[in-house]
């Protein structure tokens, strides 16, 4: 049972916009930054969004993040086949630990 709650799966067709949610509590999302990671099959997680909505260099602007209260979301617009991957939300608490969502498997139909 993960501390952060994500839907186990999501899907969309090429060109569509897909949103993945991440729900937590006041002690994690409510008081810390949320980060999002993309994990392609057989590879390590890669940072997609940091500090709620910031994109690292090289991440397309098709990916965006937001946070409100104790929830966060990742939006992918202009869906592409190469976006098919597992997506994880994470909170790294500076004083204690890291917590993750259970992951969302995105399928591009």
Partner 1 sequence: EVQLVESGGGLVQPGGSLRLSCAASGFTSSDHHMDWVRQAPGKGLEWVGRTRDKVNSYTTEYAASVKGRFTISRDDSKNSLYLQMNSLKTEDTAVYYCVMVPLLWGQGTLVTVSS
Interface residues with partner 1 (CB under 8 A) are 2, 33, 35, 37, 43-47, 50, 56, 88, 90, 92, 94, 96-103
Q: How far is the CB of 47 from partner 1 (least distance, A)?
A: 6
Q: At closest approach, how far in Å is the CB of 103 from partner 1?
A: 4
User: CA nearest 59: which of 48, 45, 50?
Assistant: 48
Name the residue nearer to partner 1 (CB basis): 24 or 101.
101
Which tokens sit at 50?
A: 């940091």
Supply the minimum distance, in Å, between the C-beta of residue 24 and partner 1: 14
Residue closer to partner 1, measured from CB, 15 or 41: 41
- Residue 19 CA to residue 74 CA, distance in Å, equals 6
What is the rounded distance in angstroms from the CA atom of residue 16 to the CA atom of residue 34? 24
Q: Are strands 104-108 and 9-12 parallel, antiparallel or unpaired?
A: parallel
């Amino acid at each position: 049972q993960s501390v952060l709650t994500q839907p186990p799966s999501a899907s969309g067709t090429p060109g569509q916009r897909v949103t993945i949610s991440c729900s937590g509590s006041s002690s994690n999302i409510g008081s810390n930054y949320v980060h999002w990671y993309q994990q392609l099959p057989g590879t390590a997680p890669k940072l997609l969004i940091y500090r709620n909505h910031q994109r690292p260099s090289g991440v397309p602007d098709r990916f965006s993040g937001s946070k409100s209260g104790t929830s966060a979301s990742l939006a992918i617009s202009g869906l592409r086949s190469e976006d098919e991957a597992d997506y994880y939300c994470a909170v790294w608490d500076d004083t204690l630990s890291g917590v993750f969502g259970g992951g969302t498997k995105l399928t591009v139909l």
